[in-house]
Structure 1
């Protein structure tokens, strides 16, 4: 029954015996709809024969039968059987790979055919124009309800499929990152995830908490996995500098570190490199907060950070001559020594870099020679000194 105050359904105004009057032409109307839809909507041409085609034909006849059970009543548009059938048609559209627009178009076409042929029969039998008008309104109200039920089922199936697909893709990402799955297993996971594994891949590491809009971008670009306090993207490697630039632009502001390009079996390596560099972000010179970076442009920092304890021991040994200085003086002398090594002892560029007078540079270099002695003339010792100074951000967290 209609809710109190709700308008009566349009079929309530139709004659209660209308179904009996129209019964002789209903089978022909159903056949016309079943035959016309595949011709007018090519997406259904392949479904004309086979199990799904039979289901559509059954749906047409069932829907017409339900429509003609309504005249003269205030019943709900669909009974449970018809509602379930229309829902299954909507879900089936997604499984068959068609858009919902195809089914909605088929419903509209069916409504036009039904109204034209049933109204012609009404006229042939001399029924009043009011019956034809109410019939048309009833048919379109009925089709609106069918469309809504099918669309809701389509969306639910799409959502469920997306959840299953995302789970399979997370499993594929985990297998690639772990690196121990056999090629046959990777192939199997690739099929169920509907994600062909390309010949070259790269791994991007991001903070675990990413904006939903950013995550949506990541999902479009590759496989996404949240684990161990980080979000990991496994994606096809950029094919050109322009594609690489677009990838970095898409990751701008996320703090992503993109690992080197590798073959699928070496994905764990790309992941390790990206993670190692991500841990060193605070000490990387010239890298803005949140900037997406390529590990291949910072491999030196990755090497320096590979064995921090060894680097700390090296720094303690080669920089021992500075141990007697105050913290402020030690920092100034370390900066001067690093600049001296970078600029081969040239005072002018050192002064500019250190923002001090060239005479100050001369004084500091003289002091360094007093502290280090002949060590500064030894190429191997200078190499160790530069390693120690370049690695101090890794060892001390950006001292």
Structure 2
């Protein structure tokens, strides 16, 4: 048995690790799961990719099978990392339609979580650009699922957290791009009302996101920096940038050890937020060219950045709130965090559209992501935030979750009965089970 966790390093659970190197081996492991779940690169923050008894690591199934440059359709094995996909296709003028905040996730994981990016408000999530999926069911049957073939299974698999079968391969669509640069505009918002208004006005932008100073209080509650972005066309580049039309990812530094617990606290968080806000404010109203990787994946520049939170790890509380209740609920959540002085070291606000799958996280509204180091009393604070989310008609992101209750989960996912019915059909013996599924009784 091996003790593993998600990216947040909490919780830690024992599981038997299985490392299939072929499709047939992955098929056998799925049939023999007792019970277990597939795992990509372990970037789900909580326990979604930790099997109750067995965990099938898909990292070795990482080949690219076929590509059609006319349609942008790419067929790959589920263990392919987005960073390797991008390294191959960015210089050829193609990029995924949707990417999350890290490139170190697998295609299979991106489908299982129906990951979203900074463009969900106008272009949807990762699942929207999946053409078909090749699944092996716990019964041993291999099925190709799409919107036309086995549509219910396809819908349940998008965002289904690996609980409908092990994804072996998928065909996805890539977008054509002229350069590897993003034209970014920065705006300053002095409070939450202005932040929401700026994101509403930024609906026409392909990419939009707000960094929020979650420790600001009073009249400054919810102050933020809003970043809007577009893929730069070739004519947007100057001579210096044309010479480096498709900049590749630079080698990253790595966090060598766990940070001592005293490094991250309310005072260091407040100091960082003030410096970050002022630095961003100096760029306000200007347009800058940013390479693809630092724009979409800023944290990838520091390997093992989760060590910054110390040995106890961290949890991310990511919720989505329907538009009609978002502003008042966000204000209450931020006010409680600021008053309690919880050390939230990341607070990101984005506008979302509808999800693609029955357990997809997005809904039309606003999502707030908050990272907290694990400290005494934290979970009671998070329980209070959960109550606000449920009262507003929102829900929590399963790919980031490590501790929500069954009641919170059930209240947020109205399509749960459909998903459960599909799951019973494809896995009548209940062989596929992660620690998350066990905890939430999915």
User: One fold, TM greater than 0.5?
Assistant: no
Q: Which has the higher helix share?
A: 1
Q: Which has the higher strand share?
A: 2
TM-score (norm 2): 0.20
TM-score (norm 1): 0.22
Larger Rg: 1
